[in-house]
Chain A
């Protein structure tokens, strides 16, 4: 049983950056914008977040700087795709490449340094409960934040007028514009939110997961976050399930090895991606005539005057 608890703890930690980044991208995509630059924004968040934390000695400062870095990167994206009506796919890819390169330059000075990782919650009495104590009451702030974030986003999208308007922009920007809503401005905010989340998710890695910075340490998690958003069919609730599923597959594959089970590791590692494709296909079939994606996702919008 202790092993189960330990596995759950590992899965929570591994899934948290995925969940945070995917939540941000979910909001971005619900507004109709496809930002493929998540990996670039995440790695910038990691580099700047770690640098700030090391220089200031504070995890919080690091986390905030990570968010700022991600947001600034997303602003470049917004300027191009919303301000200049440039193709979103190309811009997102350019953002990823730029982010990887810039983060390498910025982070180079910090490689080799270490910081004290983000502290874990400890409530005497509660954290000690066997099996669930550490899972519920013993995580670091990022884990709790990620879950709060998902709840907040869910509430925003489905229980507020602003969220409704945002979703309208993503489903039919022409109508939304005709109704008088500032589509571009809403999308700008959505993109910035996505950037902040990606930056925070990236910062989580060197601030809590492995407390040092190595260039490229996001190792493709940004792409997984993109897959997650689709896997969850753009629904926050499913996003949590998906994130933990992806994290679980990664962790369980390692445990399976340690237990001596002979499953080829590559097959296990490919499961999340295959699953995403299958889910995409299945989901698109249940709605007649098309997918459940925000209908205007990825299309350029220039308001008529």
Chain B
């Protein structure tokens, strides 16, 4: 007897609906066991992780603040992944966008520049991110080089470039030689929406991005092409869809979104350019994209959920002395369960009685 995986004749819609719930359920069980092993009350811990942050306005705002870059980047990535173009370099595109947008802020520092500064910064960030993402895309389209690896390598290059800038040419002259630019002028800062919190304009932009992506994928020809090129490449070829052009397009869009997220994060919550502006958003966004099943609304929910775990993890460290590493374990396990349950949408298990032997 052998257990084999075989492709279903068609997608199972029941599984598609309940798989996230099963995944979350299994994650909760696994995490409870982990908490128990660590000597913490599982129910209390789960409460601190998931319930507490939802109970006051400050935490809710922080969840939105944390989710904003994740959702923006993840939506862009989902377009790439749907088209079978694997952009792993969102982190680098995020940083380059932050750098490019900051260039305007640094150059107009102290001058009496007008309200055009912030929109210009955001535009620069998006354009720079798009251009940076085009490098691995062109390498793939023209030379056949793996976009996974080229985009990943460029992350390191971007990180080092940022490091060089803030330690050298862009360093704040009054900053005691510390590697950071001067604080951005108010005109170069992303406005906060609610006084007293950190919820900022970026959140609105993220929502608009989600809406735009939903329209793009659901109602436009290009969106249709993107989905088909990934799901059924041969059919796409017969349909005359140009896979190469779509790779370039999706990389450009996701690069732009990542770059936009980068400059918004720098011009918003941080307020200046420094090394380490991203705690791995570009990579976490990949997880968000998959958790959201490459669907814009799903990504919005997944992004908020993951942000919740970050905030909850910090509160758990304060309230229950649970190490921050547990958050990473949780995220990894959640993604595993979601991916595993999701595979049952397309595949199922069968017991068969015998197997051909290899000669």
Is A115 on the interface with B (CB-CB < 8 A)?
no
- Contact present for A101 and B343 (CB under 8 Å): no
Is A80 on the interface with B (CB-CB < 8 A)?
yes
B348 CB to nearest A CB, Å: 11
- Contact present for B145 and A266 (CB under 8 Å): no
Query: Per-residue CB proximity of A264-275 to B under 8 Å, as 1/0?
Result: 101101100110
Is B5 on the interface with A (CB-CB < 8 A)?
yes
Measured in the bound complex, the distance between the Cα atoms of B310 and A97 in whole Å is 13
A32 CB to nearest B CB, Å: 13
Is B107 on the interface with A (CB-CB < 8 A)?
no
Is B332 on the interface with A (CB-CB < 8 A)?
yes
Is B41 on the interface with A (CB-CB < 8 A)?
no
Is B144 on the interface with A (CB-CB < 8 A)?
yes
A50 CB to nearest B CB, Å: 16
Measured in the bound complex, the distance between the Cα atoms of B328 and A103 in whole Å is 10
Number of cross-chain contacts by CB at 8 Å: 164
- Contact present for B144 and A284 (CB under 8 Å): yes
- Contact present for A215 and B164 (CB under 8 Å): no
Is A76 on the interface with B (CB-CB < 8 A)?
yes
**B330 — nearest CB in chain A belongs to which residue?**
A101
Measured in the bound complex, the distance between the Cα atoms of B326 and A149 in whole Å is 35
Number of residues from B at the complex interface, CB < 8 A: 55
A123 CB to nearest B CB, Å: 40
A101, A103, A274: which contacts B157 (Cβ < 8 A)?
A274
Is A245 on the interface with B (CB-CB < 8 A)?
no
Please indicate the chain B residues that have their CB under 8 angstroms from the CB of A277 in the complex.
135, 139, 145, 150, 153-154
Among the stretches A5-13, A131-139, A288-296, the one at the interface with B is A288-296
Query: Per-residue CB proximity of B165-181 to A under 8 Å, as 1/0?
Result: 00110000000000000
**A101 — nearest CB in chain B belongs to which residue?**
B328
Measured in the bound complex, the distance between the Cα atoms of B332 and A277 in whole Å is 29
Q: Would A90 and B139 be within 8 Å (CB), given that A230-B149, A280-B150 are in contact?
A: no
Among the stretches A62-70, A81-89, A205-213, A235-243, the one at the interface with B is A81-89
A81 CB to nearest B CB, Å: 9
Q: Would A266 and B325 be within 8 Å (CB), given that A223-B152, A291-B145 are in contact?
A: no
Measured in the bound complex, the distance between the Cα atoms of B144 and A215 in whole Å is 38
Is B124 on the interface with A (CB-CB < 8 A)?
no
Please indicate the chain B residues that have their CB under 8 angstroms from the CB of A36 in the complex.
88, 148
Q: Would A227 and B149 be within 8 Å (CB), given that A264-B164, A266-B163, A281-B143 are in contact?
A: yes
Please indicate the chain B residues that have their CB under 8 angstroms from the CB of A215 in the complex.
325
Measured in the bound complex, the distance between the Cα atoms of B140 and A290 in whole Å is 9
- Contact present for B329 and A102 (CB under 8 Å): yes
- Contact present for B148 and A298 (CB under 8 Å): yes
Measured in the bound complex, the distance between the Cα atoms of B152 and A34 in whole Å is 14
Please indicate the chain B residues that have their CB under 8 angstroms from the CB of A181 in the complex.
358
A85, A89, A94, A105: which contacts B148 (Cβ < 8 A)?
A89
- Contact present for B335 and A289 (CB under 8 Å): no
Measured in the bound complex, the distance between the Cα atoms of B330 and A180 in whole Å is 40
**A37 — nearest CB in chain B belongs to which residue?**
B332
A46 CB to nearest B CB, Å: 14
- Contact present for B146 and A108 (CB under 8 Å): no
Q: Would A180 and B356 be within 8 Å (CB), given that A90-B286, A90-B335, A291-B144 are in contact?
A: yes
Measured in the bound complex, the distance between the Cα atoms of B283 and A223 in whole Å is 13
Please indicate the chain B residues that have their CB under 8 angstroms from the CB of A297 in the complex.
146
- Contact present for B161 and A227 (CB under 8 Å): no
Q: Would A267 and B149 be within 8 Å (CB), given that A93-B287, A277-B154 are in contact?
A: no
B4, B153, B164, B332: which contacts A97 (Cβ < 8 A)?
B332
Q: Would A85 and B346 be within 8 Å (CB), given that A277-B153, A280-B150 are in contact?
A: yes
- Contact present for A85 and B332 (CB under 8 Å): no
Query: Per-residue CB proximity of A104-148 to B under 8 Å, as 1/0?
Result: 110010000000000000000000000000000000000000000
- Contact present for A227 and B323 (CB under 8 Å): no
Is B115 on the interface with A (CB-CB < 8 A)?
no
- Contact present for A230 and B323 (CB under 8 Å): no
Please indicate the chain A residues that have their CB under 8 angstroms from the CB of B94 in the complex.
none
A84, A89, A266, A274: which contacts B347 (Cβ < 8 A)?
A84
- Contact present for B339 and A305 (CB under 8 Å): no
A residues lining the B interface (CB < 8 Å): 34, 36, 76, 80, 83-87, 89-91, 93-105, 108, 180-182, 215, 220, 223, 226-227, 230, 264, 266-267, 269-270, 273-274, 276-277, 280-281, 283-285, 289-291, 293, 297-298, 302-303, 305
Known: A227-B149, A274-B153, A302-B347. 9 other contacts (CB 8 A): A90-B287, A102-B325, A104-B323, A105-B323, A180-B359, A215-B325, A270-B157, A273-B156, A281-B150
Query: Can you report 29 A-B residue pairs in the complex whose CB atoms are below 8 A from each other?
Result: A84-B347, A86-B342, A93-B335, A94-B331, A94-B339, A97-B283, A97-B287, A97-B332, A98-B332, A98-B333, A101-B327, A104-B325, A108-B325, A181-B358, A182-B358, A215-B325, A223-B152, A223-B156, A227-B149, A227-B152, A270-B160, A273-B154, A276-B149, A281-B150, A285-B143, A291-B146, A293-B146, A302-B6, A302-B347
Give the 3 A-B residue pairs with the shortest CB-CB distance, closest first. Answer: A101-B328, A98-B332, A104-B325
B residues lining the A interface (CB < 8 Å): 4-7, 38, 86, 88, 135, 139, 143-146, 148-150, 152-154, 156-157, 160-161, 163-164, 167-168, 283, 286-287, 290, 323-333, 335-336, 339-340, 342-344, 346-347, 352, 356, 358-359
